[in-house]
A = this chain, B = another copy of it.
């Protein structure tokens, strides 16, 4: 469609091979010729076709990003941080949302595959992703879920520990009826949280109640719904742990709607800070989502593996501590 290397060759009166050599800065090309060719390139405005280049060289300078939802602030934060690492190295990002749907995830990966991405950034939904991913055999970096950490480079926050800390924090302050609102049950991140939740109860010699663990979707809507359900129970929990910033937003909207007071009526701990945390009353006690750190690590891991493919598989576990606000009340025993 546009100007091809052949056009440049004709314009400069040389062969396409020579033009290619000039374009790619190969040695052994006469200075005079080189100047000729460069002039022709400028005159015609030639840009190498990356499709053809990719087909020949097996390199597209494109990284696929397969995530749950590209409009989720957490995901965006991670992606943007990774982009900051990858873009300066010449990579661009091909993005697709899976909406936490295994079928869509598979489609996305197939698409990335057939578009020959050089690498993949993924927050895996399905556990058997490896079976249909291995065909490609390009570098993969996973985050937020640790189901694939034995196969692919992974960076994730230790959710078991984070949840343990949150529950322990609450138990130590006299809460025992502690609810957790989280996203899709099948995600490994939720299994980790579940374990952390149980361990905290176990170590504090308390007994957890099954009905206090609520799973739905990482959305405002579910945050609202779940919180409402909790509050209207006969034995409403004295504290709630929210699984993500987005869920917390929903919870807070519901809180205001129902006129519930935090922390007087119910205590709240959030996984992930709100984007306008500072402007909201009360300050929410939370553990950081660490989008920046995750994204940066993901970018760097991918980059290093693109350069030296047969590195050993790496796992980067980040720890997130509780940052105290004013949303937890101490109960007198």
Task: Name A's B-contacting residues (CB within 8 A).
Answer: 1-3, 45, 47-52, 54-55, 58, 60, 62, 69-71, 73, 76-77, 79-80, 83, 87, 92-97, 110-111, 113-116, 135-137, 249, 252-253, 256, 274-276, 278-281
Partner of A253, one of B50, B60, B256, B279: B279
Partner of A51, one of B45, B60, B97, B136: B60
Who on chain B is nearest to A96 by CB? B92
Residues in chain B near residue A114, CB distance under 8 A: 47-50
Residues in chain B near residue A79, CB distance under 8 A: 70-71
- Whole-angstrom CA separation of A137 from B71 in the bound complex: 30
- Whole-angstrom CA separation of A257 from B55 in the bound complex: 56
A116 contacts B276, CB within 8 Å? no
Who on chain B is nearest to A132 by CB? B45
List, sorted by A's number, 5 A–B pairs whose CB atoms are closer than 8 Å. Answer: A2-B113, A47-B135, A70-B80, A93-B95, A275-B275
Who on chain B is nearest to A81 by CB? B71
- Whole-angstrom CA separation of A252 from B110 in the bound complex: 45
Residues in chain B near residue A47, CB distance under 8 A: 110, 113-114, 135
A76 contacts B83, CB within 8 Å? no
A55 contacts B45, CB within 8 Å? no
A94 contacts B93, CB within 8 Å? yes
- Whole-angstrom CA separation of A135 from B7 in the bound complex: 15
Of listed A45, A60, A79, A92, residue having the most chain B CB within 10 A: A92
Who on chain B is nearest to A255 by CB? B279
CB of A293 to closest CB in B, whole Å: 15
Who on chain B is nearest to A55 by CB? B51
CB of A67 to closest CB in B, whole Å: 12
Who on chain B is nearest to A1 by CB? B58
6 additional A-B residue pairs with CB within 8 Å, beyond A55-B55, A71-B79: A3-B135, A51-B115, A52-B55, A62-B94, A71-B76, A93-B96
Who on chain B is nearest to A291 by CB? B71
